[in-house]
Structure 1
Amino acid sequence: MPRRGDTGQVYRSRVRIPIIAVTMALMAAVTGCGALGGDSGNSSTSGSAGASGPVEKPKIKVGLLPVVDVAPLYQAIDKGYFKQQGLEVEPITVSSGPKAVEGMIGGDLDIAFTSYPGAFVAQAKGAAKLKIVADAYAARPGHLVLVALKDSKLQRPEDAGGKKIAVTSKGSISDLGAMSVLETKGVKVEQIDFRQMSFPEMGPAMQRGDIDGAVVAEPWVTRTEKEFGALQLMDVSSGPTQDISMTGWAAMEKLTTENPNTFAAFQRGLAKGVDDVKKDRGTLDQILVKNIKIDQATAQLVHIADYPVSLDAVRLQRVADLMKKFNVITSDLKVQPMLLASPVAK
């Protein structure tokens, strides 16, 4: 099993005391999972859609996790799509979604890969004023799954009440999505004991009996199945969470305003990477092996969801509404003003 630093330099935060309160809020709502849904035709964004000219910041740092969601970014780097836009993108592997957002708020990262709850809770609680720069991943069957071992006390979704279930973070798509689906099965979700840990830690924790099950995202669905014999008990991206948006690329609003050409260049380069991986599964598999450090045999088995080609306010609003339902945020959050407009193709 790969270590956290297998896909690159692990980001170690240099954020100091002023960020601690922010970090505590973020830790309750950020995760490294991903998922996506198709465009609904109701895309609504704000910002400068026609940004052009030389980039203001030719080199940017992007914090990310080793999950399938980020494949288009690696493709755009490897194929020189960002360089064609006059932009150098440095991917920095972080240990968790909260670290990425923390680094972005502290100024050590320019863009953070994050689950949408992580960005939305920061916005709703006033920890940061953010823009969603681009969509990353939306749910499809088989991507985000509740799993358990065959000798676990958790043998079916209806058994989840009172069980210890691992998630990458609380208040994330992992636990919010799981609770949403489990409610439809009559489970008293407030009785679930959610335990925070990274994806690589979940398989061994199940094997030791420290937890009864885990909510894992690809490639960890396939990996825990192959390496630990994990059984898939419930698709978290089903029923009330079918096709829900899961992860995206976020930045501080002030930075996007001051550097419109830079972020337009990032969006254009990333869009080419998205186009490549949507067209060719072989290209995607190569990225999973090279950059996400999955072996070739496993890469071919990984369930792939969808890489959206544009931001969609209606689809992303579903996430904010789910957060409100389970009291991750206490008031309504309107997502549309957070979305950064897509640039003119170039």
Structure 2
Amino acid sequence: MLRSVTTRRSFLGRLPLAALALTVLATASGCGLLGGDDEGSGSGQGAGGVEKAKIKVGVLPVVDVAPFYLAIEQGYFKEQGLDVEAVVMASGQTSINGVLNGDLDIAFTAYPAPLLAQSKQLAEFKIVADALSAKPGHMVVVAPPNSSFRKPSDAPGKRIAITARRSFTDLAPMSVLKTLDVETSTINWVELPFPEMIPAMERGEVDGAVLVEPWVTTAMKQLGATPVFDAASGPTAEIPMSGYVAVGGAGKFATTSPNTLAAFQRGLAKAQAEATDRAKIEPMFVKYAKIDPQTAQLVTISTYSTSLEANRIQRVANLMEDFGVIKGHLDVSTMIQKSGR
């Protein structure tokens, strides 16, 4: 949230995946992916040295990237020989486009977008680092006070706000409801930006909303919203939500710069290991996510991973396959960026 909260429509890249796939296809078919001779690229600093010292990383204004900024402020990337420039993107789509067209070296994104693109063979995405996995309280289906939407079995026929179809905001709650034998086909999913969901509930235009932090906390403070059920529970408990990706293939950054990516991994992991300390991470929420200090103290801090495990991220691909977003089977292990020196 380096920008105003109105950018939340694109938070975590929760945009229509079909539209994103078309955008990725158009971008991939244009002028070379990650082509060009950027300053410092391919310079090769000997065994173990980074191939590109100055890199650009596209990020969104979300709580997921708080450790990334901590790594910059604490000099953890510089310790690894990297000069990392944070580029705040307007949406998940522009972040993905940036890494495809070479404006960015690494892009932060919600997992569904690159997984879908990979399944369609629109680009060779490499997952460089895991960002955030949802703890209880991070992604919650809420309802306004005095609503008849009080429990999961009330969901059929209700108007529930989400950011986009076939995103975490509808797939995760549908997965939870499926395990509870609750019919989801009659739910009226209403696409709205996060900032508009609270007013929509207040006006009675929707019966509930699927929110992520800090909007969960904000809805409870501003509206007195009550949780109906946790969308990251049961089959989706601790589900990986987001990560950092690069593009691989002949001549592409993820292929030509393994040591650079390994250095990025080490710097980020050091910061993510410290993200359990609220004293360190809350200032990042306030400074870069523009969350007010009072709300920042209440926001649920989810899991910031210090390792990159294919079997964990495979859960996202499996979720997408279960609901027909991905056709066939996607083996996430082929997307994991191998560490350099």
Q: Structure 1 length as normaliser, TM-score?
A: 0.82
Identify the match of residue 60 of structure 1 among 52, 55, 60: 55
Q: Distance in 1 between matches of 2:255 and 2:118?
A: 17
Counterparts of residues 133-152 of structure 1 (less than 5 Å): 133-152=128-147
- 1:2-56: CA deviation from partner (whole Å, max 9, x where unpaired): 724899xx9xxxxxxxx98235999xxxxxxxxxxxxxxxxxxxxxxxx954433
2:327 is the alignment partner of 1:330? yes
- 1:144-185: CA deviation from partner (whole Å, max 9, x where unpaired): 101121144533222222323222332222211110001123
Identify the match of residue 263 of structure 2 among 265, 268, 271: 265
Identify the match of residue 234 of structure 1 among 229, 233, 241: 229
Q: Distance in 2 between matches of 1:267 and 1:333?
A: 24
1:37 match: none
Identify the match of residue 205 of structure 1 among 194, 200, 203: 200
Q: Distance in 2 between matches of 1:142 and 1:198?
A: 20
2:305 match: 308
Counterparts of residues 15-34 of structure 1 (less than 5 Å): 21-23=22-24
2:239 is the alignment partner of 1:247? no
2:177 is the alignment partner of 1:179? no
Aligned-partner residue type, residue 157 of structure 1: P
Q: Distance in 1 between matches of 2:305 and 2:180?
A: 30
Q: Distance in 1 between matches of 2:88 and 2:198?
A: 21
Q: Distance in 2 between matches of 1:109 and 1:152?
A: 45
2:106 match: 111
User: Shift of residue 137 of structure 1?
Assistant: 0.9
Contact residue 117 and residue 172 of structure 1 kept, 8 A: yes
Contact residue 171 and residue 328 of structure 1 kept, 8 A: yes
Contact residue 270 and residue 306 of structure 2 kept, 8 A: no
1:16 match: none
- Cα 1:118/1:62, change in 2 over 3 Å: same
Q: Distance in 2 between matches of 1:245 and 1:75?
A: 20
Q: Which moved more, 1:249-258 or 1:329-338?
A: 249-258
- Cα 1:207/1:317, change in 2 over 3 Å: same
Gap regions ≥5 residues in structure 1: 11-18, 27-50
2:89 is the alignment partner of 1:94? yes
Q: Distance in 2 between matches of 1:114 and 1:6?
A: 14
- 1:240-277: CA deviation from partner (whole Å, max 9, x where unpaired): 11122111111111321122222122111111111221
SS of residue matched to 1:209: coil
User: Shift of residue 328 of structure 1?
Assistant: 0.4
Q: Distance in 2 between matches of 1:70 and 1:301?
A: 18
2:69 is the alignment partner of 1:74? yes
2:275 is the alignment partner of 1:283? no
Q: Structure 2 length as normaliser, TM-score?
A: 0.83
- Cα 1:20/1:187, change in 2 over 3 Å: closer
Q: Which moved more, 1:188-197 or 1:332-341?
A: 188-197
Query: C-alpha root-mean-square deviation of aligned residues, in Å?
Result: 2.6
Contact residue 25 and residue 122 of structure 2 kept, 8 A: no
- Cα 1:325/1:25, change in 2 over 3 Å: farther
Identify the match of residue 316 of structure 2 among 315, 319, 322: 319
Counterparts of residues 165-176 of structure 1 (less than 5 Å): 165-176=160-171
Gap regions ≥5 residues in structure 2: 12-19, 28-45
Contact residue 22 and residue 127 of structure 1 kept, 8 A: no
SS of residue matched to 2:171: helix
User: Shift of residue 198 of structure 1?
Assistant: 2.8
Radius of gyration: which is bigger?
2
